[in-house]
Structure 1
Amino acid sequence: MSQDEAAAPRTGRREQNATLTVRRVGDGVDVLCLSGVLDTEGAAALGLELAGRLRTTRPDRHLVLDLTGLRLVSAAGIQVLDTHVRHLSDTPVPVIVAAPHARDIFTIAPAHGLLLCATLDAALATLPGSASSGGTLPGPALPGPGGAPGTPGEGPEDILGRRAEARTNAVIGMAQGIILERYAPADVRNAADLLRQASERHDVPLRVLASAIVTAPRPTARPDAWFPGRPAVPPPRSRLLDGADQRAHDRDHVLRVLVRDVVAATDADGAEVHLVDPALGDSLVLESHAGLGSAYRHHVAQVCGPPAACARARLLGQPVLVADVLTDPDLTATVEGRAASAMGSRALYAIPAVSTDGACEGTVTIHHARPGPGPTHDQRAALRTLADDLAHWHAWYRRSVVLDALEYVHAHA
């Protein structure tokens, strides 16, 4: 039988938006329960509690995190969890998550020291000494890498769509938590409506707007402006912009034009464009593509680091050529490399898109069906020009269009 250890954890604090309590289950399990909104203050209290308990963990005592009572999880909460449990990847702490937004967050940005479970029984079954440990977990299945349990008859496109949806929902959930913490609207629905209105009014994708809210500095004390004194800057001159209005604000259009021009300029069999997303740990997120199989796109939808060619180019700040995927010792050992060769790609050429201030905005990668020395000199020059155009446009878009949308959120919250 379980019982409450105390009305509050050892910190003795009941946060404004989050409550921490501890239950003892049986003789050897402490269940740390969080409810409400895990904002910055709640994350700090959680960090203190975790630090104390993990430091004094004995072989005969185990810790389980119960997050079923959380309505929203802030970026600070995710960071605290990762900081305190990342060293426990060999003996992860079971964590119970039920709310869809929490499942999405932990699916897309997993903490290596946590083991996701659907119920308390499932969590207890994973602990050493449990009669069920090592077997199938009871309770409903949690999402896998695709963002949701597999469904009979579900194809690769469905899985890819679920993964993108999960990534989007995770960032939006964090943005809603920040709005609730910062502006104290009446309820979560108001925060969601405000995000949607700002997205539609300024034609900024919801995930992009949410990512900006998560990573932007806190607003100033002025209630009328988030970024006071910010000048209006016209879009840069670019080959990616066409038409009377240049459609510079239309993000999807610009990225589609970029991929089209990349394939045409390099005679490539496929192409992919990644952009850096600070809200996802500065990982590279696949934003536009052509000629790529769904299985490959599934594995490069979010790239956190090498040996993927795009991540190598970003890390080095210069183009990277993979003359033959099948003989590259790093790629052949990864799912990305195997997926590339399975869809017929043999040579890859990736180039970073670096803005004038030296920031890498993203990468452009081309695929060829035959191994070889990569694009010609003229093709590399054309690709360099297109990557520069991407970097200059995206830097402007972030600092103009996205900030306009943030100002809308601030003014109407």
Structure 2
Amino acid sequence: MGGSGGLGFARVEVVRLPGGDGLWVVRAEGPLEGPEHAALEAATRPAAGCTAVVIDLALVPRVSAAGVRALVGCARTLEERGSRLLLATADATGGEVLATEGALTVVRSVAEAATACGGPGLAGPGPGPEIPSPRRPEQAGAPGLPGRGTLAGHTERSVCAGSTTTRSPAVSAPPEELLRLRTEVRHLRAKARTHPLISRAQGVLEERYRLPDDSAAFALLEASSQRFNVRLRTLAAAVVTIPAPRTLDGEWFPGRKRLSAPPLAFAPGLRAASANATEVLSAVLRRSMEVAETGMGNVQLVDPVTGDLRIEKHHGLDDDFLEFFDRVGKDGTSCAQASQQVTRVTVTDVATDTVFDEPSRAAILAAGSRGCHSTPLVVPSGQVEGVVSTHHERPVRALSASQARALDEVGSQTGRWLEWYHRTVVLDALEDLHFAGSTWR
């Protein structure tokens, strides 16, 4: 393991094992020359519920003698705290050198570490044991989980808004009529969730600019939304959450500096400065699914009004999943934990992981997902703008170093772009709305 000097860099994530325990995975980058490497500091601060720490050395070109001593010190510190340290490296020679130190345990990969710490067959190398394929929404319910249909004379258990209720047997109806009714109800619920925010923004604008009625306020919102290609809900949220202009005659944001759009290297076909949020989030999801090698996933953004995560883009997930997880709070799911801990959370097996509350687990399993990776979209200040999650039909393995690095890059680039978008494009739309509203006076 050879390379150049430097303090090094570290990326962290949580790999949750079947049953609820987890690994605190530190992906080290750059030569490890001593205790000042960022990975060693990160390794001593594991997230709650992690029973072991893994330092992945796949992207470390060199570990010096001082670096080895620092690793031994880190291992002893963790041991005193009741935890253990594992070092993951595929470098056979380097691994043998590290293994000569009695305090260090060496494995070939993070996946192998997950197997050693209680995830047999799920995260280790090789195909693992045969696991029945998850049932898709159109199939009968799996044992202990709600099915999509009911048998005559039986009651149906359904999960809705985080609670479980019992309903009477469903009345038979033509499949196309059921589909139409479900679609209509879903649209009505979506409208009911969005309408209060739009109405609140209308009220703010009506009072601020002394507009004749709420129709005039809606016209202002709609015009600026279309002119700057900003979603109406996004613009309404900005009206509600951003402090009012100091005067009605001047600029809303005087002296504001317009910044250049940060690059989106993971989506070379997009022009970052002119792309809209929908295009960027579609590219985020597409690239994340490609890296994680799956066809199911979703992107959520943090609602600036409530702080909840809200689904913005999705692929391969059924309507029931989308309705159930339309809004996610601060616990009960892997995406909520990723947002709260500001680190990726990998769930190796949804069926057994305690990160999910029971209604959420049932909804995810019913959609055909047995494993997931939830990566936060983070701005440089550490604020989370959203989460991208990939879902998998079988329990998943820990990500490789290259996969983890690629998803982290997607998350950080997207976070920076979203921050720029809200501070530039959305504020441009607000300035436009402010100018138009002032002319009503």
Distance verdict in 2 for CA 1:387–1:157, change over 3 Å: farther
1:317 equivalenced with 2:342 (yes/no)? yes
Does residue 185 (structure 1) correspond to residue 211 (structure 2)? The answer is yes
- The answer on whether the counterparts of 2:334 and 2:347 sit within 8 Å (CA) in structure 1 is yes
Question: What is the SS of the residue equivalent to 2:331?
Answer: coil
Q: Which residue of structure 2 aligns with residue 303 of structure 1? A: 328
The amino acid that maps onto 1:271 is G
1:401 paired with 2:425, answer yes
Residues 328-364 of structure 1 deviation map (CA, whole Å, 9 limit, x = unaligned): 2342512x22111012100111121110122111111
Q: Deviations over 1:105-139 (max 9, x none)?
A: xxxxx9xxxxxxxxxxxxxxxxxxxxxxxxxxxxx
2:288 match: 262
Q: Determine the structure 1 residue equivalent to 2:10.
A: none
> 1:298, 1:244 → 2: CA distance?
30
With over 3 angstroms needed to count, the CA separation of the structure-2 counterparts of 1:247 and 1:160, relative to structure 1, is farther
Q: Out of 346, 370, 381, which is 2:370 matched to?
A: 346
Secondary structure (helix, strand or coil) at the match of 2:382 reads coil
The answer for unaligned runs of 5 or more in structure 1 is 1-109, 111-150
Say whether the 8 Å CA contact 2:372–2:396 is kept in structure 1: no
The alpha-carbon distance between structure 1 residues 255 and 372, as it changes in their structure 2 partners (threshold 3 A), is closer
Determine which of 286, 310, 314 is the counterpart of 1:285. Answer: 310
In 2, the alpha carbon distance for the partners of 1:153 and 1:265 equals 34
* Matched residue, 2:226: 200
Instruction: Give runs of aligned pairs for residues 146-225 of structure 1, distance below 5 A.
Output: 154-221=180-247, 223-225=249-251
- Can you list the C-alpha shifts for 1:293-350, whole angstroms capped at 9, x where unaligned? 111111111112211111111111111122111112342512x221110121001111
Comparing both chains, which one has the higher relative contact order based on Cα–Cα distances under 8 Å and sequence gaps of 6 or more? 2
Structure 1 contact 247–253 (Cα < 8 Å) conserved: no
Residue type at the aligned position of 1:391:
G
Give distance in 2, aligned partners of 1:218 and 1:306.
Answer: 33
For the residues of structure 2 that align with 1:369 and 1:182, how far apart are their CA atoms? 51
Which residue type is aligned with residue 314 of structure 1? S
Q: Is the 8 A contact 2:296 2:316 kept in 1?
A: yes
C-alpha deviation, 1:240, in angstroms: 4.9
**RMSD of aligned C-alpha atoms?**
2.0
Residues 1:358 and 2:385 aligned together: no
Match of 1:140 in 2: none
C-alpha change, 1:380 and 1:401, in structure 2 (3 Å) is same
Distance 2:270 2:404 in 1: 30
Kept in 1, the 8 Å contact 2:263–2:272? The answer is no
Does the aligned pair in 2 maintain the 1:175–1:213 contact within 8 Å? yes
Letter in 1 for 2:419: A
CA distance in 1, matches of 2:400, 2:273: 31
Give 1:260 deviation, angstroms.
0.9
Aligned residues: 262
What is the CA–CA distance in structure 2 between the aligned matches of 1:332 and 1:270, rounded to whole Å? Answer: 21
Q: Secondary structure at the match of 1:327?
A: coil
Q: Secondary structure at the match of 2:351?
A: helix
2:373 alignment partner, SS class: strand
Q: 1:253 to 1:411 in 2, by over 3 A?
A: same
- Change in CA separation of 1:247 and 1:229 when aligned onto 2, cut-off 3 Å: closer
Contact kept? 1:199, 1:205, Cα under 8 Å: yes
Shift in alpha-carbon separation, 1:247–1:365, aligned structure 2, 3 A: same
Measured at CA, do residues 267 and 396 of structure 1 come closer, stay the same or move farther in structure 2, by a change above 3 Å?
same
* Unaligned 5+ runs, structure 2: 1-160, 162-176
Query: Does structure 1 conserve the Cα–Cα contact (< 8 Å) formed by 2:262 and 2:272?
Result: no
User: Are 2:408 and 1:381 aligned?
Assistant: no
In structure 1, the residue matched to 2:28 is: none
Task: Calculate percent identity across the aligned residue pairs.
Answer: 34
1:251 maps onto 2:303 in alignment: no
Partner of 1:294: 319
Assess, with a 3 A threshold, how the Cα gap between structure 1 residues 311 and 352 changes in structure 2: closer, same or farther: same
Give the Cα separation in 1 of the matches to 2:277 and 2:435: 24
How far apart, in 2, do the equivalents of 1:362 and 1:245 lie?
A: 21
3-state SS of 1:353 partner: strand
Q: Tell me which residue corresponds to 2:40.
A: none
C-alpha contact 1:203 1:249 (8 A) present in aligned 2: no
Structure 1 Cα separation of the partners of residues 266 and 237 of structure 2: 24
When residues 246 and 313 of structure 1 are mapped into structure 2, their CA distance, relative to the original with a 3 A threshold, is closer
**TM-score, structure 2 as length reference:** 0.56
Relative to structure 1, the CA distance from residue 371 to residue 394 in structure 2 (aligned partners, 3 Å threshold; closer, same or farther) is: same
User: TM-score, normalising length from structure 1?
Assistant: 0.60
- Provide the residue aligned with 2:395 in structure 1: 371
Q: Given the alignment of the two structures, is residue 229 of structure 1 paired with residue 255 of structure 2, yes or no? A: yes
Report how far residue 381 of structure 1 moved: 1.3
Query: Matched residues in 2 for 1:344 and 1:388: separation?
Result: 29
Residue type at the aligned position of 2:416: H
Higher gyration radius (CA):
2
